Amino acid sequence: MTAKTVRAKLGGGEAVFGVFTPGSSMAQAEILARAGFDFLILDAEHGTVGPEQVAALAMACEAHGCAPLVRVPSLDRRAIGKPLDFGAVGIVAPMINSRANGEALLTAALYPPHGSRGLAMTRNLGFGMGQGDVAARINAANEAVLTIAQIETREAIANLDEIMSLSRIDVIFVGPADLSSSLGIPLQFTHPDFLGAMMQVATKAREHGKHLGVLVNEPEQIKRLYPLGFRLFAGYLNMMLAKMARRFVVECGEAAGGTAE
């Protein structure tokens, strides 16, 4: 799956599912891609993924029809440009709090004339080999890259209109933990202030025609979020593994006639 395919599914109203992965294991990425996720978000913000690992991880994804995205640690143009050079097909940018932040994302992710991304004959452009006009390939790259803006603060909620006015931002993605923390109610996802902020995001996204994404801890959450317009859902691998591991330990203890500690 490519960024174009993800965008097409979202455009058709379909849900897409992925996972944040903080590790740099190619085998792990391949397992996740084989599992059927639409996309993987290689986490360079809270994980150990560096530019030097992106190419191999991207190849593991691509081999099984899974779109490799990268969550970058900052809006630095090199932090955004390098993963795209090495094969990422989209960028997840944290802490987009203003129009200026959104513009910084787009400027770094797009080649001129739409941005200022540096041009080199890197993996994303076939290392300069193959047929086709270079200008056409650059234009195609600009059209293809998936741009995802994370909404994670009280400031971002106040600036939703100006952020969503940027037509080239594809997906507005809510980071629930940081958003709840910024609202002064950390991890209180049923608090009226948090629910109100989520409704604001959903309402503004409908007004601006933006796709909506969110981090989920349990599939059950999707039943509540889907009616609000959310279509891009991502879990976090470490949390998924922790829950599965604990469940396995408990079930092993029960099967052996006892209770696991």
- Quick one: which of 53, 60, 13 has its CA closest to 39? 60
Name the DSSP letter for residue 118: P
Note the pLDDT of residue 1.
59
> Which residues, in sequence order, are CB contacts of 233 under 8 Å at separation 6+?
15, 16, 17, 18, 213, 214, 216, 222, 225
The domain defined by 3-255 carries CATH number 3.20.20.60: yes
Pair of tokens at residue 59: 């190849």
**Residues sharing a CB contact under 8 Å with residue 210, sequence separation 6 or more, in sequence order:** 164, 169, 170, 171, 172, 204
Task: Answer for the pair 66, 39: CB distance below 8 angstroms, yes or no.
Answer: yes
Residue 89 in tokens? 């097909």
Domain spans of the chain? Answer: 3-255
Residue from 46, 114, 208, 211 carrying the catalytic annotation: 46
User: Which helix or strand (DSSP H or E) is residue 231 part of?
Assistant: strand 230-236
Structure letter (DSSP) for residue 126: G
Q: Using CB atoms within 10 A of its CB, is residue 220 exposed (0-12), middle (13-18) or buried (19+)?
A: exposed
- Is 191 among the residues known to form the active site? no
Q: Do you know the residue count of the chain?
A: 261
Radius of gyration in angstroms for the set of CA atoms belonging to the chain, rounded to a whole number: 19
- Taking the C-alpha atoms of residue 84 and residue 79, their distance in angstroms, rounded to an integer, is 9
The tens-digit pLDDT sequence of the chain (261 residues) is 578 889 999 999 999 999 999 999 999 999 999 999 999 999 999 999 998 899 999 999 999 999 999 999 999 999 999 999 999 999 999 999 999 999 999 999 999 999 988 787 777 777 666 666 778 888 888 999 999 999 999 999 999 999 999 999 999 999 999 999 999 999 999 999 999 999 999 999 999 999 999 999 989 999 999 999 999 999 999 999 999 999 999 999 999 987 656
